[in-house]
Homo-oligomer: A and B are copies of this chain.
Amino acid sequence: MNDLFLRACRGEAVERTPVWIMRQAGRYMAQYREVRKKHNFWTVCRTPELATMVTMQPIDRFGMDAAILFSDILVGLPAMGLDVDFNPGPQLENPVRTSADIDTLHRFDPLTDLGFVLDAIKSILKEIDGRIPLIGFGGAPLTLAAYMVEGGGSKNFMYLRGLLHEEPRSAKKLMSFLVDTQADYLNAQIDAGVQAIQIFDTWAGHMSRQLYREFVLEPMAQLIERVKRPGVPVIYFIRDAAHVLDLLSSIGADVISVDDKLTLSSVAEMIGPGPSLQGNLDSTVLLGSRKSIHEGVKRVLEDAPKDRGHIFNLSHGILPPTPEENAAYLVETVKRLSLVKET
């Protein structure tokens, strides 16, 4: 097995920097768009053969060092009793706004209620056949709470912040419920065979430092504690987070994945010794010229701190208008430049 990714997560020596791309199975690929012409997003998530097909498309075409399960962080919401539609952003018919709403949520059983995810994992692992690791993933409690309380995406997270300010006990009950369900869900993914876990906290950086400390840090640390297993690294993704990065040393993640607001060397300084870093080329660079991509890759590789592991990735998901040849050039350039760097 090419275990560069796993070794970098653990901070071990590597011959070159491993690379994968958030949303590497996605709309920028013609093959993916073909599949989506025939099947909607939910159907692809829920059909192991289709999830396997799209998970493997970027691996076969671009040769990333890790595959990531094709799914969505909101895939468990229906199992909690919440209906979600994608058109294309997620929309919930009944947002969770009160303590009573929170009490109606089901603590589902991943084995029975999300069996299609576990079947997809097993099917993908068969297809990968031990060549590279498979990453499982889920949403962080705060980020799931954001969708559940707002009822979809949001510009200012008015309802979520309202709940945190006005009903701190209800908010903590919701976070605690989400720690439980996500621990169950991510542990089921590990039992099904994923070799690493990424927890997406896409919206946590929109909370103030005070709210992050009061409502996010401790539940996240608990969740990570509950999914940690020997040999299965946990990656915590957060963005827009310069105001809380110094708090993350205590969160327990093996890897912190960040956006491009700060260089990886500054991030390492703020977090302190310990976790490997994942990131952080600005996704929009992939819309530009080869020259810019080359320079961007070079800058990230040179800046990545040498006292810990580094997994190359973007600042956020790859953008749908990205030309496929630029994704190919990115992977190839990371592999080439990071190898040269070591010799």
Which residues does A use to contact B, with CB under 8 Å?
Answer: 156-158, 161-162, 165-166, 208-210, 240, 242-243, 260-263, 266, 282-285, 287-289, 292, 296, 316, 319, 321
Contacts and interface: CB of A to CB of B under 8 A. Distances in A.
Identical copies in the complex:
2
Contacts of A156: 283-284, 316, 319
B209 A282 contact: no
B292 A166 contact: yes
A162 B287 contact: yes
A208 B162 contact: no
A110 to B, nearest CB: 31
Nearest to A212: B261
A309 B19 CA distance: 48
Contacts of A266: 209
A284 B209 contact: no
A158 B209 contact: no
A208 B319 contact: no
Interface centre among A157, A242, A289, A321 (most CB of B within 10 A): A242
B261 A158 contact: no
B166 A208 contact: no
Nearest to A280: B208
Q: Please give me the 5 A-B residue pairs with the lowest Cβ-Cβ distance, nearest first.
A: A242-B243, A242-B242, A161-B284, A166-B288, A243-B261
A237 B321 CA distance: 32
Contacts of A262: 208-209, 243
Contacts of A282: 161, 165, 208
B243 A162 contact: no
A132 B288 CA distance: 50
B162 A284 contact: yes
